[in-house]
Structure 1
Amino acid sequence: MSTMRSLFAALVAVVAATQPAAADVCYKGVNLSGAEYGDRDGVENLNFTYPSEKTVAYFAGKGMNIVRLPFSWERLQPTLNSPLSAVELDRLKAAVLRLRDHGMTVLLDPHSFGYYDKARLGTPEAPAFAFADLWIRLAAEFANEPDVLFGLMNEPYDIPATEWLDMANGAISGIRSVGARNLVLVPGTRWSGAHGWRADDPGGSNADVMRGVKDPIDNYAYEFHQYMDPDSSGTKGGCAAADAATAALIDVTAWLRETGKKGFLGEFGGSQDQACVVGLKAMTAVLDDNADAWLGFSYWAAGEWWPETEINNVQPTGKGDRKQLSGLPLKPGRKPDAAACATIPPA
């Protein structure tokens, strides 16, 4: 424990000593979960749900300006390499419009963990070109909308980094092929965890391999996830690894400066325990204190169907706000600087 505290203190000192004070990050928001539930034949509001007007208005009123919007790849594209479902696409577009009407930027998130049905990407059942095909079709629908970002995939975890890099580059190439210049967020493999970014597993580390991202217009950033429970899964109670989680963000901040790119913390969270609230403040402070290297964050998670007992839940209840919100540096009424936070580069 003393060794971890010493390492943590040293990392804080290094980053603080090398960086001038910066403005807050551009984007502060939440994952609104629900549309990723159910199978391709699910019934809306029975097997899955998109964010309601009430929920969107609540989080916008708290000062959040971005929503990571998980959805089901299988329901949006029921057959690989085929047209998107018109019905599901209309639902997705309606949700995006609802969010935009409240001043929210939307991060589109195929919440599939690097799988289609039960087939891993890169296998004969789910070939890599099918992933590019999804993004060609999806990008064409949202091309050059400045408040829509493209998150390539939620937490690919069973794919060697070298193989995942090729898939990510293929998807980016497909996005650009239809003229879409939107900002693309690129995760790493192994759940895109900040704590394991430099881990040298078979296929190489994310830190080494993901430097090879290729984008013809160079408009991409890296997406990281990080939790504070002992195994960094976000599924356990308490925040025993809060210091380690903060240290992991400091470490990838240094890596982002090495690469000259920016990062986005797509998932993080904790319970209502005071230790978790303190941990949330520490993690988000790393981002705000190093806004030259970070775009922002989206907390995991909220949504109408999340039970009150769910550990990370910040959906309001009859008792009022969840305690985790007090750990997030939200400023109601704050608008991000349009120039500094631009997501569509000049043509």
Structure 2
Amino acid sequence: MSQFDQTAEQDALRRSVRSFFTRFDREYVRECDRTPRPPVEAFTAMGDLGWLGINCPEQYGGGGGSATDVAVLLEELGAGFLDLALWVFRVLSHGVHALDGYGTEEQKQRFLPDIAAGRLSVCFALTEPEAGSDAAALTTTARRSGDGWEISGQKVFCSGFKVSDYVMVATRTSKGDRKQAGITTFFVPTTTPGLEARPLEMLGHRPLGTTLLTFDGAHVPDDLRIGPVDGGWAILTKMLEYERLCLSAARTGAAQSVLDDTLDYVKQRKQFGQPIGNFQAVAHKLADMAVLVEVARTQVYRYAHRLDAGTADTRDAAILKLVAGEAYKKVADLGVQAMGGYGYSMEYDAQRHFRDSRLGTIGGGSSEIQRNIIARTLGLRPS
């Protein structure tokens, strides 16, 4: 048995998710992208099925699943509707994983059952106008005020805010010799007075939207602080490593969908009296796409197994993020090229993947940053 072989339960989950998309089909996905609007009906149905608590401990109403279970779920969701997968990823990562790992017992009892049932959604705010790849340089402040804290500053490129009840916010609570010190995380209600959101128009990922957040003395009680004061960087590091599993699994599923669609097209589309897939120039594109998807999938489950075994490290996470993000972008580009004018048409899904895939090498740590991380593990010091 290969170390990446999956259990009967995981195979059943995979089949169930595929069946799920007979209810929320391609036209549903396209309508959400065109409008744009979030896939509320599909998300609610997932809550009813118990999938939103797949990694939540059973004592809080979840399934107690592993990182591999999460990867299976998100890969299949990504194949059916990437933005739905990304909504679910935020719930599983910035909601369940963060609270289960770093929340107090009171916070777990208060939030986890509702998150697992789909009654609460969560998003994440880390990036700032002057702190993107250099995330530890964040300047949004949280200052003590009465029984809590007042948060002031800006966060940009916050995805999924419009469908969220809480936003996990990284703030600076003190200054020290190291910029990684003095960071604290909070679980902030999205309706908090002093918090304003402005939608940003982006190239892709339209259904959930992207937002600029401005905090102007937004008061947050201390019981919504996640983890110790000034101890947030360690939490953020672990969250980002888990996030890279989730995003990579979802994007690998989306890349598989591009491959499947393109393969169907080149087998049916005829030019010069034969299917265009018979021409070597086209066939090689499909071969390259298949290799890229297979390598990304292998990395996803390699990393998931290491997470489950407690042996995953920052280098593993960087390799996964780099491979999966670049694979989806390249597969989407090759798919458009193989389909020609139809790939460029808004009537087909190729253009949506082309738009959405571009974020995979930028957001959540750019490909350049992942290469820097990997290079440092080789004893190099890129600047």
Q: How would you bin the TM-score normalised by the shorter chain?
A: under 0.3
More helix by share: 2
- TM-score of the superposition, structure 2-length normalised? 0.24
> In terms of Rg, which structure is larger?
2
Instruction: Return the structure number with greater relative CO, CA threshold 8 A, min gap 6.
Output: 1
